[in-house]
Amino acid sequence: AQSVTQLGSHVSVSEGALVLLRCNYSSSVPPYLFWYVQYPNQGLQLLLKYTTGATLVKGINGFEAEFKKSETSFHLTKPSAHMSDAAEYFCAVSDDFGNEKLTFGTGTRLTIIP
Amino acid sequence: NAGVTQTPKFQVLKTGQSMTLQCAQDMNHEYMSWYRQDPGMGLRLIHYSVGAGITDQGEVPNGYNVSRSTTEDFPLRLLSAAPSQTSVYFCASSDFQGALDEQYFGPGTRLTVT
């Protein structure tokens, strides 16, 4: 069965510093991987996704993530944090290939320090 | 386009009461789903639908019913509310690849069961 582990339920970074949010997955088949962001009192919004092909995926708002099969990881990064990046971030992995369900991680709340 | 709309935004129920959470989308999406979000647990799939007349169970379906009579609407029914169903509920929709496509989330319904 697929699963997702997000290391660190809370991460704080200074404005302008590197953002690194960690996600490791477990899947018995080639996975589809996603990062979603949730701003306060809102629903989730897709940041980026990996399906096949290039392992470095670029998303919205300057975020990117790299699929590393050997490490079963899909960490989210942004070179320079902005105050508007404060939100909760969820990593998700697809169910068995062809199935239309996702398993979400428990989320990482990102705080930006002025 | 209004996107995905959910009503009500807030609801308080007494144990044993029933109610329906409404969800509608105007994007002509085939795939719709219901999630619940609880602190420290991320999002968990309750039920989903791949088209009108077709529904299936997710990870935590007990205590909830759904139906999909039209493409636009996907209501979630709580049959007999329990305190364990206190949560934030999100409806989402996506195009033909289901959860593997970008899911568009509604703003959520915050439900408290006393």
pLDDT at A42 over 80: yes
pLDDT tens digit sequence for A67-113: 999 999 999 999 999 999 999 999 999 876 556 678 899 999 999 99
Position A53 scores a pLDDT of 84
B88: contact with A, CB 8 A cutoff: no
B61 to chain A, any CB pair closer than 8 A? The answer is no
On whether the CB atoms of residues B31 and B49 are closer than 8 A, the answer is yes
At B30-40, the pLDDT tens digits run 999 999 999 88
Q: Which of residues 32-51 of B touch A (CB under 8 A)?
A: 35, 40-45, 48, 50
Virtual CA dihedral for A114, A90, B41, A31, nearest 10 degrees? -150
CA closest to B43 among chain A residues: A104
Which of the four pLDDT bands, split at 50, 70 and 90, describes residue B98? low
Beta partners for residue B32, in sequence order: B49, B93
